[in-house]
Amino acid sequence: MPVILAIESSCDDTSAAVCRDGEILSNLIASQKIHEQYGGVVPELASRAHIQNIVPVVDQALTKADLPLSAMDAIAFTQAPGLIGSLLVGAQFAKSLAMSLQKPLIKVHHMQAHVLANLIGDPKPLFPFLCLTVSGGHTQIVICESPYKMEVIGETIDDAAGEAFDKSAKLLGLPYPGGPLLDKLSKEGDAKRFSFPEPNIPGLNFSFSGLKTSILYFLQAEKNKNENFITENLTHLCASIQQRIVSILMKKLRKAAEQTGIKQVCIAGGVSANSHLRNSFEQLGKNLGWNTYIPKFEYCTDNAAMIAISGYYKYLKQDFAELTVSPTARAEW
Ligand code: KG4
Ligand code: ZN
For residues 147-175, average pLDDT: 96
For residues 132-154, average pLDDT: 96
Name, in order, each residue with C-beta under 8 angstroms of 50's C-beta and a sequence gap of 6 or more.
Answer: 9, 14, 86, 89, 90
Ligand 1: atom nearest CA of 166 is: 14
The verdict on the CB of residue 134 being under 6 Å from ligand 1 is: no
Give the pLDDT score at 54.
97
Distance 184 CA to ligand 1 centre (A): 13
Q: State how far the alpha carbon of 176 is from the alpha carbons of 72, 206, 271, 275, 300, in Å.
A: 37, 23, 14, 18, 19
Give the pLDDT score at 331.
87
Give the pLDDT score at 221.
98
- Cβ–Cβ under 8 Å, residues 222 and 194: no
Residue among 301, 306, 307 to mutate when testing ligand 1 (max atoms within 8 A of CB): 301
Instruction: Report the alpha-carbon distance of residue 255 to residue 154 in Å, rounded.
Output: 10
- Cβ–Cβ under 8 Å, residues 105 and 77: yes
Q: Which ligand is nearest to the CA of 182?
A: 1
The verdict on the CB of residue 183 being under 6 Å from ligand 1 is: yes
What confidence category does residue 37 fall into, taking pLDDT thresholds of 50, 70 and 90? confident
The verdict on the CB of residue 165 being under 6 Å from ligand 1 is: yes
What confidence category does residue 188 fall into, taking pLDDT thresholds of 50, 70 and 90? very high
User: What would the pLDDT profile of 200-251 be if each residue is shown by its tens digit?
Assistant: 999 999 999 999 999 999 999 999 999 999 999 999 999 999 999 999 999 9
Instruction: Report the alpha-carbon distance of residue 242 to residue 182 in Å, rounded.
Output: 8
Q: Which ligand is nearest to the CA of 113?
A: 2
Query: Could you give the 3-state DSSP secondary structure of residue 56?
Result: helix
Give the pLDDT score at 41.
84
The number of beta carbons lying within 10 Å of the beta carbon of residue 241 is 25
Is 108 a residue whose pLDDT tops 90?
Answer: yes
Is 36 a residue whose pLDDT tops 90?
Answer: no
Residue among 271, 298, 306 to mutate when testing ligand 1 (max atoms within 8 A of CB): 271
The DSSP 8-state label assigned to residue 188 in this structure reads T
Residue among 36, 86, 135, 212 to mutate when testing ligand 1 (max atoms within 8 A of CB): 135
Instruction: Report the alpha-carbon distance of residue 90 to residue 119 in Å, rounded.
Output: 23
What confidence category does residue 31 fall into, taking pLDDT thresholds of 50, 70 and 90? confident
Q: Which ligand is nearest to the CA of 159?
A: 1
Ligand 1: atom nearest CA of 302 is: 3
Ligand 1: atom nearest CA of 160 is: 12
Give the pLDDT score at 149.
98
Instruction: Report the alpha-carbon distance of residue 103 to residue 73 in Å, rounded.
Output: 6
The DSSP 8-state label assigned to residue 227 in this structure reads T
Q: Where are the alpha helices (DSSP H) in the chain?
A: 43-65, 84-101, 110-116, 161-171, 178-186, 209-225, 229-260, 275-288, 297-300, 305-316
